[in-house]
Amino acid sequence: MTPGAMPRFLLRRAGTALLVMLGTTFVTFLLARVVPANPAVSYLGPKARPDEIARIEAQLGLDQPLPYQYGRYLWDLLRGDWGTSIGTKLPVTDEMFGRLPATLELLLIAMLLACLIGVALGVVAAARQNRFLDHLIRLLAIGGVSVPAFWLGLLLQVFVFGGLGLFELTGRLDPDLEFTDPLREITGFHLVDALLTGHLTALSDAAAHLVLPALTLAAYPIGVIARMTRASMLEILAADHIRAARAYGLRERIVHWRIALRGALPPTTTVAGLTLAYSLTGTFFVEVVFNWPGLGLFASTALLNMDYPVIMGITLFGAAGYVLVNLIVDLVQARLDPRVRLS
């Protein structure tokens, strides 16, 4: 890699990502201002009074030409004015940032589980290529990408919680805890906050609440990661340095888990990143099923109640997260794999 190639590549990718983000604001603008018959009413809800409609029309500049309105819309977004929720009467940005840690905690734990389980399954499948275990893992992997998250979540609730009495059913923490021994919020990540404040009861309680929703959300990435790991392991196991390692008499376990896996990790990392972005939407369904107080639950309620400012805010926020994760994946991939051309 020539010196300076990486920063230039980084800049260009970041520039493209910014342009795409600008594009998404254009789409949300069209959805927010141009598609509805009366944008002011959609912003205020059906029970709006005429004076409120007049006020919001002036505030949104609805009597102005569309290019001007788009400029205003962008400016408001940049200033952090994303509107006020019809449902809760609070600023959309406050609502979103307040709920972000819950969603991120769920998403990250799910991805951690998915990487561990997915990579392990992929390595085992490659080691047993075309044998029973390989076929079983392949079926499991395709099952993971086929299963509706909302259904898997319900099944886990019925059979693991209801049947076996394991883990917790809904929510993030036992509601009683708030009265007996509340957890002090520092980061909003319950696991981290419990560790920081040394609140062990809350730590185990938060973990027990996380297991079922995280497993549900992990099903899809497990499938994708297992398949990718298997494919790249097979490719690498055919390479010369593996034959050399075997010729040295290294045990198969070492060859697979230490040597081959190291080469198989870059493509797996990329795929893991891409499924992380994909799982952003998965949180909607998992949060609804497990009553998880995050962005997804908030968004799906807003979608059904036509809470317009929230819908637009979450859409834009989701797109930003998606673009950002994809950008990071690209950069990490360029870093890990020198064969990726920096052009």
Query: Residue 342, interface with another protein (CB under 8 A)?
Result: no
Taking a C-beta distance cutoff of 8 angstroms, is the pair 226, 142 a contact? no
Binding residues with another protein: total (CB under 8 A): 51
Q: Position 202: which residue type? A: A
CB contact set of 2 (below 8 Å; sequence gap of 6+): none
- CA distances for 172 relative to 16, 21, 151, 153, 180, angstroms: 37, 32, 20, 15, 16
Query: Residue 313, interface with another protein (CB under 8 A)?
Result: no
- CA distances for 183 relative to 204, 211, 315, angstroms: 12, 19, 31
Choice between 2 and 343, CB closer to another protein: 343
Taking a C-beta distance cutoff of 8 angstroms, is the pair 44, 53 a contact? yes
Taking a C-beta distance cutoff of 8 angstroms, is the pair 62, 39 a contact? yes
Among 6, 10, 24, 55, binds another protein (CB under 8 A): 24
Query: Residue 120, interface with another protein (CB under 8 A)?
Result: no
Query: Residue 116, interface with another protein (CB under 8 A)?
Result: no
Interface with another protein in residues 194-253 (CB under 8 A):
224, 227-228, 231
Taking a C-beta distance cutoff of 8 angstroms, is the pair 86, 41 a contact? no
DSSP 11-79: HHHHHHHHHHHHHHHHHHHIIIIISSS-HHHHHH-TT--HHHHHHHHHHHTTTS-HHHHHHHHHHHHHH
Give min distance, CB of 9 to another protein, in A. 19
Query: Residue 26, interface with another protein (CB under 8 A)?
Result: yes
Give min distance, CB of 194 to another protein, in A. 28
Choice between 210 and 289, CB closer to another protein: 289
Piece in contact with another protein (CB under 8 A), picked from 48-56, 78-86, 111-119, 136-144: 136-144
User: Phi-psi category of 250—alpha, beta or left, where left has phi over 0 and alpha has psi -120 to 50?
Assistant: beta
Query: Residue 158, interface with another protein (CB under 8 A)?
Result: yes
Choice between 161 and 257, CB closer to another protein: 161
- CA 230, CA 267: separation in Å to the nearest integer? 11
Query: Residue 34, interface with another protein (CB under 8 A)?
Result: no
Piece in contact with another protein (CB under 8 A), picked from 24-32, 46-54, 94-102, 175-183: 24-32
- % helix / strand / coil in the chain, to the nearest 5? 75, 0, 25
Interface with another protein in residues 279-298 (CB under 8 A):
280-281, 284-285, 288-289
Taking a C-beta distance cutoff of 8 angstroms, is the pair 276, 325 a contact? yes
Query: Residue 318, interface with another protein (CB under 8 A)?
Result: yes
- Output the CA angle 133-138-141, nearest 5 degrees: 125
Choice between 133 and 231, CB closer to another protein: 231
* Eight-state DSSP code of residue 83: -
Give min distance, CB of 319 to another protein, in A. 5
Query: Residue 1, interface with another protein (CB under 8 A)?
Result: no
Give min distance, CB of 249 to another protein, in A. 32
Query: Residue 322, interface with another protein (CB under 8 A)?
Result: yes
Residues that bind another protein (CB under 8 A): 20-21, 23-24, 26-27, 31, 35-36, 135, 138-139, 142-143, 145-151, 154-155, 157-158, 162, 224, 227-228, 231, 271, 274, 277-278, 280-281, 284-285, 288-289, 300, 303-304, 306, 311, 315, 318-319, 321-323
